[in-house]
A and B are shown apart, each in its own frame.
Chain A
Amino acid sequence: MSDFEPDILTFCCNWCSYAGADLAGVSRLQYPTNNRIIRVMCSSRIEPIHILEALKEGTDGILVTGCHIGDCHYIEGNIHTDERMKEIVDALEHLGLKDRLHLEWVSAAEGKKFQETITDFVEKIRALGPNPLKEKAKEE
Chain B
Amino acid sequence: MTEQEAITNEESEEVRIGAFICECGVNIAGAVDCNAVADYISTLPNVVTSVVNKYTCSDAGQAEIKNAIKDLNLNRVLVASCTPKTHEPIFRACVEEAGLNQYLFEFVNIREHCSWIHMWEKEDATKKAKELVRMGVARAALLEPLQSSEVPVTDAALVIGAGVTGMQAAMDIADMGHKVYLVEQGPSIGGKMAQLDKTFPTNDCSICILGPKMVEVARNENIEIMSYSEIDEVDGYVGNFKVKVKHKPRYLNIDECTGCGLCTEKCPVEVPYVEFDEGIGTRKAIYTPFPQAVPLRALVDKSICIDCGACIKACERGAIDMDQQETFSELDVGVIVVSAGFDVYDPEPNHDFGFGLYDNVITTMEFERLINASGPTMGKVVRPSDVKPPKRIGFVQCVGSRDKNSNIYCSSFCCMASLKNAQLLKEKYPDTEVYIMYMDMRTPFRMYEEFYNRARDMGIRFIRGRPAEVTENEDHNIIARIEDTLTNEIVNLELDLMVLSVGAVSPESTETVRQILKVSRAADGFMMEAHPKLKPVDTTLDGIFIGGMTQGPKDIPYSISQGSACAARATRFLAQGKALTEGITAKVDEDICVACGVCVPMCPFQALSIEDDKLKILTALCKGCGTCMAACPTGALEQSHFKNEQLLAQVKNVFAYGEV
Contact = CB atoms under 8 A, between A and B. Distances in A.
A52 B613 CA distance: 32
Interface string B106-123: 000101110011111100
Interface stretch (A14-22, A90-98, A99-107, A121-129): A14-22
A58 B655 contact: yes
A57 B654 CA distance: 8
A50 B625 contact: no
Interface of A is mostly: mixed
Nearest to A45: B626
Contact of A40 (B117, B118, B626, B631): B626
B604 A76 contact: yes
Given A33-B121, A33-B124, A36-B128, A73 B625 contact: yes
B654 A36 contact: yes
B648 interface: yes
Contacts of A80: 602, 627, 630-631
B135 A38 contact: yes
Contacts of A39: 84
Interface stretch (B66-74, B149-157, B639-647): B639-647
A41 B624 contact: yes
Contacts of A138: 657-658
Nearest to B86: A22
Interface in A24-60: 24-26, 28-31, 33, 36-42, 44-47, 49-50, 53-54, 57-59
B626 A9 contact: no
A33 B125 contact: yes
A115 B112 CA distance: 12
B131 interface: yes
Given A9-B651, A9-B654, A80-B630, A45 B135 contact: no
A34 B413 CA distance: 55
B584 interface: yes
A42 B626 contact: yes
Given A30-B119, A49-B648, A75-B540, A59 B625 contact: no
A26 B650 CA distance: 25
B630 A46 contact: yes
Interface string A118-140: 00000000000000000001101
A28 B27 CA distance: 11
Nearest to B528: A75
A21 B110 CA distance: 12
Given A36-B654, A37-B113, A45 B625 contact: yes
A24 to B, nearest CB: 6
A45 to B, nearest CB: 3
A101 to B, nearest CB: 13
B84 A25 contact: no
Contact of A77 (B83, B111, B625): B625
A21 B82 CA distance: 12
B338 interface: no
Contacts of A76: 604
A50 B654 CA distance: 12
Given A57-B651, A58-B655, A25 B626 contact: no
Contacts of A26: 112, 116
Given A54-B654, A76-B604, A40 B647 contact: yes
Contacts of B116: 25-26, 28
Contact of A44 (B625, B647, B654, B657): B625
Nearest to B648: A53
A40 B464 CA distance: 52
A22 B83 contact: yes
Contacts of B520: 75
Contacts of B113: 21-22, 25, 37
Contacts of B630: 44-47, 80, 84
Contacts of A74: 540, 604-605, 623, 625, 627
Most buried by B among A18, A36, A42: A36
Most buried by A among B116, B127, B629: B116
Contact of B627 (A24, A45, A49, A57): A45
Contact of A53 (B125, B625, B651, B657): B651
A38 B83 CA distance: 13
Contacts of A24: 112, 117
Nearest to A139: B657
B393 interface: no
Interface in B229-272: none
Contacts of A42: 625-627
Nearest to B628: A44
B626 A41 contact: yes
A44 B626 contact: yes
19 contacts: A22-B113, A24-B112, A25-B112, A30-B118, A30-B120, A33-B124, A36-B655, A37-B109, A38-B135, A44-B626, A45-B627, A45-B642, A45-B647, A50-B648, A54-B654, A57-B1, A58-B657, A74-B623, A75-B604
Given A38-B651, A40-B642, 8 more contacts: A30-B120, A39-B84, A57-B655, A74-B605, A74-B627, A77-B625, A80-B627, A137-B657
Q: Which 4 A-B pairs have the closest CB atoms?
A: A25-B112, A45-B626, A74-B625, A47-B630
Interface of A: 7, 9, 18-19, 21-22, 24-26, 28-31, 33, 36-42, 44-47, 49-50, 53-54, 57-59, 73-77, 80, 84, 115, 137-138, 140
